[in-house]
């Protein structure tokens, strides 16, 4: 099948229960870290999405066995691993290819890494990865690809120059294989970083400080196999909160990982969107105030993303769409990426009242009546935001380039149809 589109008939109320997939950003580093051990690893609740499938192909290309034994269960056995040249085309598809650096250095002592790809959402530096690995005893040079080698990684006191999630994951994985003690300071501590740490402990690693910005690893331990279940994706949960709010629907989000939702719930509450915690589930009621909460003194409020545990950057696009359906005015401040807000021109074309101040800030006034349109999905999160906007809009919308959405959301059209959404996945009629 060629390029794909979603045909979306908006304006319908949804209802029912939906379960978030496993966290994509946990699955990727955990799949990569499975190469650390020569014993079998079983991973459960793995999202069956393009980014994960691409990384599985890369894992196979270095000699590891990787087999889907059920829809969302992956068996990996890296009995033998070789420092084979990684396929540049596969590496260009996903930024997560860089996560293979640490485990392949641990097993083979060297790796040739083509430049990683991923979403086009502004400059995403990789310097932090290599500076951290260098502290742990890795030599590197840059030609048309990254050439990394080590005669043996050793523990060190590592200060990351930014709390990069993937750099933290690479550093932790390398430190587990390194000889001696490592302290990683200014570490990222998102739920997916925590999940990686719990997986490594299941393999036999010794890690302290999980969930904080100072992580201590006693490296060089003998590692064995393990079975590990990937935790729920808190970004999907945020997406479903936004979906329920803009379609004025009651949706139950099952096994939502509520312990990781404090900042997400606080951010949506600022928009006048509240949720109820019911055990492990999150319920978004149909009846919502949807009134943006002004700052003290009546000043225009701001919703901004920051490193964890603040409001997640990947939920900003969803929050922006939700804000278009709420009463009042708010500034959306996307601090992390330069180009992530550029999709708002598509929302403006659908009738949203938004002023893009600069690459990082947009002022949203609502509520606005959205109308159907033909739009393009520029990246995973903006694509999901456009899908949510289309479900709130009047009429039939067409969303092109849906492969971007499917890089991050498993079978999203099927799962939304189960809630009553009218979404059809078809071959792009423009390519016929």
38 flagged as catalytic = no
> E strands, 40-125, where?
41-44, 65-70, 73-77, 110-113
Q: Name, in order, each residue with C-beta under 8 angstroms of 398's C-beta and a sequence gap of 6 or more.
A: 5, 6, 7, 8, 373, 374, 375
Residue 49 φ/ψ, nearest 5 degrees: -125, 170
Largest interatomic CA distance in the chain: 64
Q: Name, in order, each residue with C-beta under 8 angstroms of 341's C-beta and a sequence gap of 6 or more.
A: 320, 332, 334, 356, 359, 360, 361, 362
DSSP 378-424: -SHHHHHHHHHHHHHSBSEEEEE-THHHHTTSTTHHHHHHTTT-EEE
Element (H, E) at 353: strand 353-358
How far, in Å, CA of 294 to CA of 81, rounded?
56
Cα 221–chain centre separation: 30
Do 184 and 133 contact (CB within 8 A), yes or no? no
Do 46 and 21 contact (CB within 8 A), yes or no? no
How far, in Å, CA of 371 to CA of 391, rounded?
10
State the virtual CA torsion across 413, 419, 420, 425 in degrees, nearest 10. Answer: 0
Residue of 96, 5, 82, 45 whose CA lies nearest to 233: 45
Q: Is 214 helix (H, G, I), strand (E, B) or coil?
A: strand
Residue of 388, 383, 363 whose CA lies nearest to 292: 363
Active-site choice (51, 87, 89, 119): 119
- The catalytic site residues sit at 119
């Amino acid at each position: 099948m060629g390029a794909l589109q979603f045909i979306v008939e908006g304006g319908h109320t949804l209802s029912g229960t939906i379960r978030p997939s496993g966290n994509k950003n946990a699955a990727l580093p955990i799949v990569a870290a499975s190469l650390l051990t020569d014993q079998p690893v079983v991973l459960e609740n793995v999202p069956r999405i393009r980014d994960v499938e691409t990384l599985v192909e890369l894992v196979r290309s270095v000699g590891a066995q990787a087999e889907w034994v059920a829809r969302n269960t992956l068996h990996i056995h890296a009995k033998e691993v070789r420092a084979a040249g990684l396929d540049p085309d596969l590496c260009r598809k996903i930024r997560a290819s860089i996560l293979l650096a640490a485990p392949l250095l641990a097993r083979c002592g060297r790796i040739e890494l083509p430049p990683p790809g991923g979403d086009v959402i502004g400059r995403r530096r990789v310097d932090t990865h290599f500076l951290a690995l260098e502290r742990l005893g890795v030599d590197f040079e840059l030609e048309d690809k990254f050439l990394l080698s080590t005669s043996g990684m050793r523990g060190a006191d590592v200060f990351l120059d930014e709390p990069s999630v993937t750099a933290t994951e690479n550093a932790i994985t390398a430190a587990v294989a390194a000889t001696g003690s490592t302290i990683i300071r200014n570490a990222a501590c998102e739920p997916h970083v925590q999940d990686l740490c719990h997986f490594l402990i299941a393999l036999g690693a010794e890690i302290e400080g999980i969930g904080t910005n100072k992580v201590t690893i006693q490296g060089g331990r003998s590692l064995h196999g393990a079975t590990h279940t990937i935790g729920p994706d808190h970004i999907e949960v945020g997406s479903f909160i936004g979906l329920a709010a803009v379609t004025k629907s009651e949706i139950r989000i099952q096994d939502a990982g509520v312990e990781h939702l404090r900042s997400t719930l606080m951010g949506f509450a600022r928009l006048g969107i509240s949720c109820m915690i019911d055990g492990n589930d999150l319920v978004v009621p149909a009846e919502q105030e949807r009134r943006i909460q002004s700052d003290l003194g009546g000043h225009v409020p701001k919703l901004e993303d920051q490193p964890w545990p603040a409001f997640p950057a990947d939920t900003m696009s969803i929050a922006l769409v939700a804000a278009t359906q709420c009463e009042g005015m708010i500034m959306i401040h996307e601090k992390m990426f330069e180009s992530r807000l550029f999709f708002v021109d598509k929302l403006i074309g659908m009738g949203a009242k938004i002023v893009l101040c600069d690459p990082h800030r947009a002022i949203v006034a609502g509520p606005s009546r959205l109308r159907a349109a033909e739009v393009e999905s520029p990246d995973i999160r903006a694509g999901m935001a456009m899908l949510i906007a289309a479900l709130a809009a009047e009429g039939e919308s067409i969303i092109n380039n849906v492969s971007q959405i499917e890089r991050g959301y498993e079978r999203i059209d099927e799962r939304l149809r189960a809630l009553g959404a009218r979404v059809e996945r078809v071959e792009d009629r423009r390519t016929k």
